[in-house]
Amino acid sequence: MTAFSDLMEYQRETEALGQIAGRLGWDQETMMPPGAAEQRAEEMAAIEGVLHARRTDPRVGEWIDRAEAPDPAGRRAVALIARAYGRNACIPARLAAEIARLTSMAQGIWAEARAKNDVAHFLPTLERVVALKREAGQALAAGGFGGGDVYDALLDDYEPGATGAGIAEIFGRMRPRLVALREALLGARHAPEPLAHRFGKDGQLALARDLATAFGYDWTRGRLDLAVHPFSSGSGNDARITTRVSETDPFNCFYSTIHEVGHAAYELGIDQAYLLTPLGAGVSMGVHESQSRIYENQLGRSRAFTGWLFGRMGETFGDFGVPDADAFYGTVNRVQPGYIRTEADEVHYNLHIMMRFDLERRLMSGVLAVADLEDAWNTRFAADFGVRVDRPANGMLQDVHWSVGLFGYFPTYALGNVYAGCLNKALRAAVPDIDAALARGDAAPATDWLRENLQRHGGLYTPAEVVERACGFTPDEGPLLDYLETKFRAIYRL
């Protein structure tokens, strides 16, 4: 045995335990009886304690120092283990367990508050979550992560190498063109009609399964369930997805499903040689979101694919009030300043992310108090979207992320859109007949290209490297903005 083989064998067990912890989280969101919440919190804290102890075991540091990897993949694996070892060593075991315990409980408290539109019910818990995550960010910053900045230290966990300042610059370049496009579309003389029909739950879920199949979801290694907030969970050979149903808005179900299939397809598409190693998962949340967003939007909301979906909806629901496939394409892509991020059109979506990014940076810096968050949210939302939040479930209680401590996660959604814009440009150049397949409900030419050029690499390259290798150029926001302007000006006849 060598230091490298000892390290990789030990890491394999740690990765397997991490998958078990993830399965507990999946169960909590989909199957767990509500009365088990307190026990589950203790279970999550216990397994986090075991994982933290393994991840900070002094032997790991010794193996890293002595490891001689046989190839580039091995060297990258050692580098990723070393990075994780350094981050975990900054966090006291007590703090890691307490965060796991509290965020497990907080999910249920958030869901109750959201259902009751009762911000006061959630605020004490959120204050504790923010305090603990700020403490973790301070510990990481003191250890040299994030360049010493608390928010950047947390962001670095989801998008290695990214900084708040760098993201703010990207958002600063995106906002003027997005706002100008939004204003032009909302002022257009022609606008697509919304759906005005009810769509049964069983029909929606049956069609959601068909959509997942169309995008290549491997049902032998996954499953579809319902959740309050749709998500994907797992990696390797077990990547599960969830969706939700509204009888007046089937697109919520359909496009949440396609979005989560994008996440799961990334995990399932990684080279099996990397299974249960640091390379066996998506390299960053920004790259992960590039897959979910390109599946959902550039492919799933394209004229070609919506033409196929129009036919399938007619077969499933009968006449639902939309006259033809062209009108349906407009309805799918209708632009309106709605409250809910996950239901937002492509033009407004990034504005939602920019708002959350600014608010959570202020929370982590201490400039914004949790007690003032609702007022700050509502004021900013009215300024950005021109409408006032009507109830908390449509405002600061709509997203699960802060309840589970995912501070630094939100900007990766917008980075994912930027990466998706670049990947779409490269994909369409490489596979020029893609629309003919999409019009048949066959996304395989697109998903095969994404698997071969990006997904299979897992964590082998850095986020920017893997996107640049796939695209053949350095990623920036230009292709995304060009795509949005071309697509929506055509739909709105501008």
Residues 415-437: tens digit of each pLDDT? 999 999 999 999 999 999 999 99
In whole angstroms, what is the distance from residue 229 CA to residue 444 CA? 27
Output the six-digit token pair for 348.
Answer: 């407004």
Q: What pLDDT shows up at residue 446?
A: 98
Residues of the chain with pLDDT under 50: none
Contact 163, 152 (CB under 8 A): yes
Q: Calculate the alpha carbon distances from 368 to 254, 363, 402, 490 in Å.
A: 36, 5, 14, 41
Instruction: Tell me, rounded to whole angstroms, the distance of Cα 104 from its chain centroid.
Output: 19
Q: Residue 265 and residue 263: Cα distance in Å, rounded?
A: 6
φ, ψ (nearest 5 deg) of residue 57:
-60, 130
Enzyme catalytic residues: 260
Position 343 scores a pLDDT of: 87
Q: Which residues contact 372 (CB under 8 A, 6 or more apart)?
A: none
Q: How many CB atoms neighbour CB 101 within 10 A?
A: 21
pLDDT score for 166 = 96
Alpha-carbon gap, residue 55 to 14, rounded angstroms: 8
Asked if residue 19 lies in contact with residue 238, where contact means CB atoms within 8 angstroms, the answer is: yes
Position 228 scores a pLDDT of 85
The pLDDT of residue 231 is 93
The predicted pLDDT at position 110 comes to 95
Angle CA 344–22–399, to nearest 5: 25
Q: What are the pLDDT digits (tens) for 115-158?
A: 999 999 999 999 999 999 999 999 999 999 999 999 999 999 99
Q: Give percent above pLDDT 70 in the chain.
A: 100
- Region of 321 on the Ramachandran plot (φ > 0 left; ψ -120 to 50 alpha; else beta): left
**Tell me, what's the pLDDT at 327?**
97
Report pLDDT for 177. 97
How many H helices and E strands in the chain? 20, 3
pTM of the complete model beyond 0.85: yes
